[in-house]
Copies of this chain bind each other. A is one copy, B any other.
Amino acid sequence: MLGVSRTSRREAAPQASLGLPELTYDGTDLARGIKGAVKQFHRNKDIVVAGRHYSTLFVNLDGWLFRYKILHDGDRQIVDFILPGQIFGLQACLFQASLYSIETVTDTSVASIPVDAIDPLFDKNPGLAKALFRSAVRETAIVGEHLIDTARRSACARVGHLLLELFVRLRVAGQTDGLSFAIPLTQEIIGDAVGLTTVHVNRTLRALREDKLIQFGDKRITILDFEALSELSDFDDTYLGETAGALRRESVSQYPFGTHGNATSSEAPPRHDIGT
């Protein structure tokens, strides 16, 4: 039922890092370093509740979560998904009242890091500031892409685009198997994310399958024709990949801004030294 159970949890190669580019890496290391309390959450539980203020960051160690908002008419809009390895909860720390709630899709273990514990780290490793900063900007990019998704694309393109985004993000996190990956989402969740009804998500998935673009069943999706699906969905992974690439290349400037003379090359310690 979990869907992600295929991938190891704590056993995942420790130095390889679980998850997403920048933050992730820092995140897990950060969590390891601080030994922040790790808590288990069941599926369908709210971890962050809209309207409340928080003073801890969270690291998603293994599960799937999503950030969402309930509208006045009761509709639920999912803004983005939080995949294994990602940090979350920044916004809830910075704002007086969190704008969104965050809920688990699967059973999930979450490390929480009191922000108090972070400030001191900035002294030793200002690169962390940059990583967090970049993560915030990256998040805007993802949300922006979702905006374009719902505003401009057809149902097929929306669903296809979401699947491709998840695939690429999971691949970076090492959670794919060829062109196939476990997806613990219900059609209702997908609909709430791309702005379609459950009924139409269903029809759309069928259409994609009948066109031999994807294949699915048992909480697992296989992309049969990456090219064609990308074409159909107007998918361009720049907004995901470039970010990862960019960080890899220049991750060491003192401050969030890169080009400070020679900052683009590498001389500072690698960023997984935080906890050691």
A residues whose Cβ falls under 8 Å from a Cβ of B: 55, 69, 71-73, 75, 77, 79, 90-91, 93-97, 99-100, 115-116, 118-119, 122, 129, 132-134, 136-137, 139-141, 143-144, 146-148, 150-152, 194-195, 234, 238-239, 242-243, 245-246, 249, 253-261
Determine whether the beta carbon of B129 is less than 8 Å from that of A136.
no
B94 touches A239 (CB 8 A): no
The reply to whether A71 and B152 contact each other, CB–CB distance below 8 Å, is: yes
A-B contact pairs, 8 of them (CB 8 A): A71-B234, A93-B258, A96-B245, A116-B261, A118-B257, A119-B257, A133-B133, A151-B151
Residues A148 and B71 in contact, CB atoms below 8 Å apart: yes
Chain B residues whose CB sits within 8 angstroms of the CB of A146 once the complex forms: 147
| List of B residues within 8 angstroms of A129 by Cβ | 129, 133, 255-256
Write out the residue numbers on chain B whose beta carbons fall within 8 Å of the beta carbon of A119.
253-255, 257, 260
Given contacts A234-B71, A234-B72, A256-B129, contact A242 B95 (CB under 8 A): yes
Write the nearest CB–CB distance from A178 to chain B, whole angstroms: 27
Q: Quick check: B96 and A246 within 8 Å, CB to CB? A: yes
A152 touches B75 (CB 8 A): yes
